[in-house]
C-alpha cells in the first residue's frame, strides 16, 4: 500500500493567494523528503530537498521565497506556494526516503501528487 | 539539472509482445530505479537495483543494473493493456537519495 501520502490531490486557487501542500510518510520516519515539479508530458524536476529540522536545499533556479518548505517532523513536510500565479500551475510531487533499521536501503517512494491550478 | 538518456521516448505495441527500454548516463550511479506513472498520479516504484550487474525480476518485469554502473534496462514480457503508462528510470549516487530522472518512455499497448 501507499507509504507516502500527499494532500490535497487537487487545488484551484486565485492568483495572488498561497497554497500549502502536505507530504506525509505513513509507516516510516523520513529524515529526507524531496519536492518535484512536473509539467505535462515531461519528467520530474527536483525543486528542493527537505531535511527534518533544518533548512531546505533548493535547486538552482527555484525561488526559495516563493516555494516555502517546512519539514517540522520526521513524518511531515509541507510546500507552500506563496503568491501563486498562473505559471505556477503544475503537478507537484513529493517523495520520502526511509531511515532506520529495515530502511537503510529503502528506495524512494512518491506521493500521488498535487495538481495545482492557479486562475 | 542533469537527466539520464532514456529510450525509446514512446512505444506502440500489441498485447502479448515483449518490451524493452533502457537508460544510459555519462556518470556512475550507485542505485538504479524504475518507476511507472499513470496519468494524474505519482510514480510507483517497480524495481530497485543496488549492485552493478544485478538482474532483478518483479513478475513480468525484469531489470538489470549495468556492469559499468552507467546504464540499466527494463524488460516487460507478455504485455497487457494495463501496462500502459509512462516508465521512468532514475538513479542516485551516495546516500542522499537525490534522484536524477530519465525523460520517460510512453508505452501504449493495443489490445
Q: What confidence tens digit (pLDDT) does each residue in B25-37 have?
A: 999 999 999 999 9
Can you give the pLDDT at residue A99?
Answer: 62
| Residue where the block lists cell 486557487 | A13
> Mean pLDDT for chain B?
93
DSSP A91: E
Q: Are A108 and B101 a contacting pair at CB < 8 A?
A: no
On whether any CB of chain A is under 8 Å from the CB of B48, the answer is yes
A54 with A113: CB under 8 angstroms?
no
Q: How confident is the model at residue A107 (pLDDT cuts 50, 70, 90)?
A: low
pLDDT tens, residue by residue, A30-88: 888 999 999 988 999 999 998 888 889 999 999 999 999 998 888 999 999 999 999 99
Chain A residue closest in CA terms to B102: A43
Q: Distance between CA atoms of B15 and B81, rounded to whole angstroms?
A: 7
> Mean pLDDT for chain A?
89
Q: How confident is the model at residue B19 (pLDDT cuts 50, 70, 90)?
A: very high
Q: How many CA atoms lie within 13 A of A6 on its CB side?
A: 27
Q: How far is A79 from chain B (nearest CA, A)?
A: 16
Q: How far is A14 from chain B (nearest CA, A)?
A: 21
Using alpha carbons only, give the angle B34, B35, B36 rounded to the nearest 5 degrees. 135
Amino acid at each position: 500500500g501507499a507509504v507516502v501520502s500527499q494532500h490535497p490531490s487537487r487545488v484551484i486557487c486565485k492568483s495572488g493567494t498561497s497554497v500549502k501542500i502536505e507530504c506525509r510518510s505513513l509507516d516510516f520516519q523520513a529524515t529526507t523528503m524531496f519536492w518535484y515539479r512536473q509539467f505535462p508530458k515531461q519528467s520530474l524536476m527536483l525543486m528542493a530537498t527537505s531535511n527534518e529540522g533544518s533548512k531546505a536545499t533548493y535547486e538552482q533556479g527555484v525561488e526559495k521565497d516563493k516555494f516555502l518548505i517546512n519539514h517540522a517532523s520526521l513524518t511531515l513536510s509541507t510546500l507552500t506556494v506563496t503568491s501563486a500565479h498562473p505559471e505556477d500551475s503544475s503537478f507537484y510531487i513529493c517523495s520520502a526516503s526511509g531511515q532506520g533499521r529495515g530502511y537503510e536501503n529503502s528506495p524512494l517512494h512518491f506521493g500521488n501528487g498535487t495538481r495545482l491550478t492557479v486562475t | 539539472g542533469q537527466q539520464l538518456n532514456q529510450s525509446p521516448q514512446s512505444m506502440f505495441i500489441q498485447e502479448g509482445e515483449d518490451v524493452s527500454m533502457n537508460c544510459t548516463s555519462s556518470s556512475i550511479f550507485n542505485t538504479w530505479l524504475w518507476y511507472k506513472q499513470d496519468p494524474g498520479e505519482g510514480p510507483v516504484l517497480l524495481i530497485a537495483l543496488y549492485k552493478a550487474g544485478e538482474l532483478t525480476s518483479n513478475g513480468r518485469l525484469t531489470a538489470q543494473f549495468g556492469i559499468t554502473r552507467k546504464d540499466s534496462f527494463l524488460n516487460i514480457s507478455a504485455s497487457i493493456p494495463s501496462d500502459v503508462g509512462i516508465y521512468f528510470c532514475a538513479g542516485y549516487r551516495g546516500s542522499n537519495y537525490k534522484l536524477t530522472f530519465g525523460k520517460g518512455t510512453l508505452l501504449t499497448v493495443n489490445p
